Structure 1
Amino acid sequence: MAGPSTRFVLFPGRHHLLTRFQADYLRRLAEDGATTIVWAVTSANHENTKRNPVPYHRREAAIERFSLLSGLRSLVVPIFDTAYTDDFAEVTLKNIAVATGLELTPADTLVACSTPEVAKLYERLGFTIAQVEADPELRTTPERPWDVLLRLAAGDNTWRELTHPATVDVFERYRLVDEIRMVVNDPLVGDEGGLTVTRDYRTYVEAFAGAAERKWDAVRQYVQPGRIVDIGCGAGAVLELADREPGLHESDLIGVEVARHLFQECLHKKAQGVFRNANVYFFHRNVLGGAVLKDRSVDTTLTFALTHEIWSYGRQRESLLQFARRIHDHTVPGGVWINSDVCGPDDPHRPVILRLVTDDGDNPASPRRDLASLDSAEVRRHVGGLSTRARLDQFAVDFAFPFDYEALPDGSVRLELGAAMDYLTRKDYIDSWLSETKEQFCGLSFADWTTLLTEAGFEIAPASTAVRNDWVIDNRIAPVASLTDLDGRPLDWPTTHILTVAHRPWNE
């Protein structure tokens, strides 16, 4: 335990949940009453992710209450997440010095840490380690806080018996229990709060911002004033345009974004005064994990380039129907859901012949099967260097939705129309290749969408339509590909996108 010269106990960790054991252990470390516990709360800039389901300010509130109830003198310091470094301990100590003015040294500080890899970093600097839950002198091994939190997420109410009353109090007052369960059990979102770790968010934001005005112009006439929600709002580009509409200046503009990187960009824009409307709000949520907005509370819901992700990362039609029903529930009678996204051809299973050029890149004997082990720059170089024909072979290896295709003697390929369009509409996304190949653009046709929306309880407005992006066809697809039926007759390129305008019936 602490020696006579110990003035501080440094306790690094994420500290999402505090346990009764920790209270007893820290009291023993600080038994003289003059020792200060320095809580270095790591990942303080992360919240609503599987690894970090509790926001920093709630963690800090629980620590302060924990300290009061336990009779401990504490300092709480946020430590923002950084890329992995062997200098993590030094970085933490420097953060503490900047935040508090304290220069913690091995002469006056004991480090409390149960994670061996982290403890070694402090030992290397000369600090003595108290191993908390891993302390070999303990008669029984106590449950670690994260394991207790997983009990909570699993619906096991024994978490309350192990958790300190301070955490229980904060979780209940701020209604965090259900939120933690939702985030930890979320079927779509990864540990760090994004749909995929391989997406290049910089490129994604730039591309979406460039298309935002075109998207807004296509839907603005259908938007109903009141409470307007953009689900999957990205970095808020469409809401910026809604913010400039004179007819919407008294509306609430609400963005919902699941990807942490994009959500943080939304908050940054709001802090910088990008939005003139005072009633602009952002939620970091996945609507599949639980209701974000109250039933019958939203006049207009907007979704752009989102629904194919729900299809792809969830359970395809089951997840998309669940999503549609949730939007239906939060829409006021007469309110509208406007959806713009990619879609598949009317006859996706039709067999076709696809001819692709081979002289615009390399044509290796076989595709690589190890791209997931490469860094993003190497993936980009390899895929970008392939010919259009060779890239199809690579796509077939990496695509999360397997399809059959047959290489014919004349160099053409026989496959289904839906698979052909999934490749052709994705082949140029080399910056986030391993992310894009996890997504299926052609899962639903326009007719499939009509059936699904009706099943969810919506009425389909006449403005709903399937369209073909001729710019993509003329500039990306037609120059390197041609499509025929099995008898060699040329086929028109099919539709690539949908716009659906769906109303909740007035009589509901």
Structure 2
Amino acid sequence: MDYVLFPGRHHLLTRFQAEHLTKLGGTVVWAVTSANHENTRRNPVPYHRREAAIERFSVQAGLRSVVVPVFDTTPTPHFASVTLKNIAVATGLTLTPANTVVACSTPAVAALYSSLGFEIDTVEAAYDPPPSRPWDVLLRLAAGDSSWRELAHPATIDVYERYRLDETVRTVVNDPIVGDEGGLTATRDYRTYAEAFAEAAQRKWALVKEHVRPGRIVDIGCGAGALLEMADQEPALRESDLIGVEVAMHLYDECVHKKSQGVFQNENVYFYRRNVLGGAVFDPRSVDTTLTFALTHEIWSYGSQAASIRAFVQAIYDHTAPGGVWINSDVCGPDNKDRTVRLRLEESTRALFDRFATDYTFPFSYTTDGADTVILRLADAMDFLTRKDYLDNWESETQEQFCGLEFADWKQLLTDAGFEIDPASHAYRNTWIIDNRIAPVASLTTPDGTPLDWPDTHVLFIARRPLNT
């Protein structure tokens, strides 16, 4: 055959692959799938580093190679045809069953090419016992097993060492929160999520801009960069670095797109795709202002609750410069969140409560008192009431707990880490949500029937690292 089509993600290359491909002969066409994905568990290494390793591998093994990026697509039975067309457009090569053998050890993928008439070489699967596959070797690396070096090809080892990709792989694959595709949850509608943040950006910036310290300004969980757009318009911050950190691939991509389209006037705008809990993003004492909006409840919810929040608070403190500030705005639990209350609900809302109690990731106990009333913790009541209207993102929202921490809990966490709390910090009630979404369909009383005011729903903290630290 003239060509060997070798489809795969190719995050790591092995010594076995070099021996096997050399035996097959012909030009190897590397179809590098998920080429537009990086920094996720399934795809930890960016395409350009994979391509560099393949080219170096080819030179060292004496192979003639052509490397073609294949962007990720939704699952389709036509994946093999799409890949072949992609190769033809990128290289001008027309691969057919008459001139090409497909090297593939994944049965489902091999079957797609076989159905088109291609001969299949099953690579590792053709041997007994089969040698370690690249992904198995990568997982050894992630687990700290040094034997990966004995199996990986020197080209991969070299590129990994020069660009510290071994550290990247360990961090990403072992990430405590982020999923396989690089987001906190696979069920979120990121379009509506980004639109909501964009609409609220001006209000949020007005709330905090007087507390921002110029210099290195970092927005963690920056979404599609809407808040940094506000900062970009501030004359006083023209000499500052504006840095967005976002873990969700869809939102990060939108940030990069905005920058490429000239949305930001400040030339010192940067975006990182990172998870702060996966390892330090910034050097110690290097950040003047950290912004986090609607983020900490996600760290609590998708991580290990209090343990993850403590780790996050410590990470922020560590990277904050002496005199620097962390501005955190998020939902929060009500004061005295564990007290027992009676929650009376309008009929349709009562039915939605039953659905919430079933779907909610954080189980809670309650008792009924008639058809329209439930008795439960105040925190659980508010978690339902502040979530019941998120029907377009229901599967995502029911994985998140808004009321895990109350104002006093936050103060203790921040002071334990070493922060000083600015007097401007406060808990507050979102009156629009109360007046328009909660009060019309619900009422809250003590167990003996005494009416209760609606509690605080949000918190704003201005926390500073002391100058002498």
* Shorter-normalised TM range: over 0.9
Q: Deviations over 1:409-455 (max 9, x none)?
A: 26211111110000000000011111101100000000000000011
Q: Deviations over 1:175-214 (max 9, x none)?
A: 1111111100111111111111111111111111111111
Residue of structure 1 equivalent to 2:287: 298
Aligned residue for 2:324, secondary structure, equals strand
Matches within 5 A, 1:148-167: 148-167=137-156
Residue 341 of structure 2 is aligned to residue 346 of structure 1: no
Correspondent of 1:18 among 5, 8, 13: 13
Shift of 1:259: 0.8
Aligned residue for 1:462, secondary structure, equals coil
Structure 2 distance, partners of 1:354, 1:140, is 63
Task: Report the AA paired with residue 498 of structure 1.
Answer: V
Q: TM-score, normalised by structure 2?
A: 0.99
Correspondent of 1:90 among 76, 81, 85: 81
Aligned residue for 2:198, secondary structure, equals helix
Percent of residue pairs bearing the same amino acid type = 71
Task: Report the AA paired with residue 171 of structure 2.
Answer: M
Residue 333 of structure 2 is aligned to residue 396 of structure 1: no
Task: Report the AA paired with residue 216 of structure 2.
Answer: R
Correspondent of 1:128 among 109, 119, 122: 119
Structure 2 distance, partners of 1:287, 1:344, is 24
Structure 1 distance, partners of 2:447, 2:459, is 27
Structure 2 distance, partners of 1:104, 1:389, is 61
Correspondent of 1:488 among 435, 449, 457: 449
Task: Report the AA paired with residue 24 of structure 2.
Answer: L
Residue 65 of structure 2 is aligned to residue 74 of structure 1: yes
Residue of structure 2 equivalent to 1:377: none
Residue of structure 2 equivalent to 1:263: 252
Q: Which runs of 4+ in 1 moved over 4 A?
A: none
Structure 2 distance, partners of 1:491, 1:141, is 68
Residue 215 of structure 2 is aligned to residue 226 of structure 1: yes
Correspondent of 1:453 among 408, 414, 437: 414
Residue of structure 1 equivalent to 2:189: 200
Matches within 5 A, 1:107-146: 107-135=98-126, 138-146=127-135
Structure 2 distance, partners of 1:8, 1:99, is 16
Residue 399 of structure 2 is aligned to residue 438 of structure 1: yes
Aligned residue for 1:488, secondary structure, equals coil
Structure 1 distance, partners of 2:371, 2:309, is 40
Q: Deviations over 1:344-388 (max 9, x none)?
A: 001111111111101xxxxxxxxxxxxxxxxxxxxxxxxxxxx21
Structure 1 distance, partners of 2:31, 2:125, is 19
Residue of structure 1 equivalent to 2:177: 188
Correspondent of 1:429 among 390, 393, 417: 390
Shift of 1:395: 0.4
Task: Report the AA paired with residue 290 of structure 1.
Answer: G
Residue of structure 1 equivalent to 2:315: 326
Question: In 1, are the aligned partners of 2:105 and 2:125 still within 8 Å (CA)?
Answer: yes
Structure 1 distance, partners of 2:418, 2:88, is 58
Structure 2 distance, partners of 1:318, 1:117, is 40
Instruction: Flag structure 1 segments of 5+ consecutive residues without an equivalent.
Output: 1-5, 359-386
Residue 50 of structure 2 is aligned to residue 41 of structure 1: no
Structure 2 distance, partners of 1:146, 1:337, is 39
Residue of structure 2 equivalent to 1:237: 226
Instruction: Flag structure 2 segments of 5+ consecutive residues without an equivalent.
Output: none
Shift of 1:139: 4.7
Structure 1 distance, partners of 2:362, 2:108, is 38
Task: Report the AA paired with residue 402 of structure 2.
Answer: F
Residue 46 of structure 2 is aligned to residue 55 of structure 1: yes
Aligned residue for 1:432, secondary structure, equals helix
Residue of structure 1 equivalent to 2:273: 284
Q: Deviations over 1:284-317 (max 9, x none)?
A: 1100010011111100000000000000111111
Question: In 1, are the aligned partners of 2:369 and 2:375 still within 8 Å (CA)?
Answer: yes
Correspondent of 2:346 among 357, 363, 366: 357
Task: Report the AA paired with residue 267 of structure 1.
Answer: V
Residue 463 of structure 2 is aligned to residue 502 of structure 1: yes
Aligned residue for 2:323, secondary structure, equals strand
Task: Report the AA paired with residue 220 of structure 1.
Answer: K
Question: In 1, are the aligned partners of 2:346 and 2:372 still within 8 Å (CA)?
Answer: no
Q: Deviations over 1:56-80 (max 9, x none)?
A: 0110010011011111111110000
Task: Report the AA paired with residue 204 of structure 1.
Answer: Y
Q: Deviations over 1:201-234 (max 9, x none)?
A: 1111111111111111100000000000000001
Residue 173 of structure 2 is aligned to residue 173 of structure 1: no
Residue of structure 2 equivalent to 1:8: 3
Structure 2 distance, partners of 1:313, 1:319, is 9
Question: In 1, are the aligned partners of 2:344 and 2:374 still within 8 Å (CA)?
Answer: yes
Correspondent of 1:411 among 364, 372, 379: 372
Q: Deviations over 1:42-62 (max 9, x none)?
A: 000100001000010110010
Correspondent of 1:27 among 18, 22, 30: 22
Q: TM-score, normalised by structure 1?
A: 0.92
Task: Report the AA paired with residue 502 of structure 1.
Answer: A
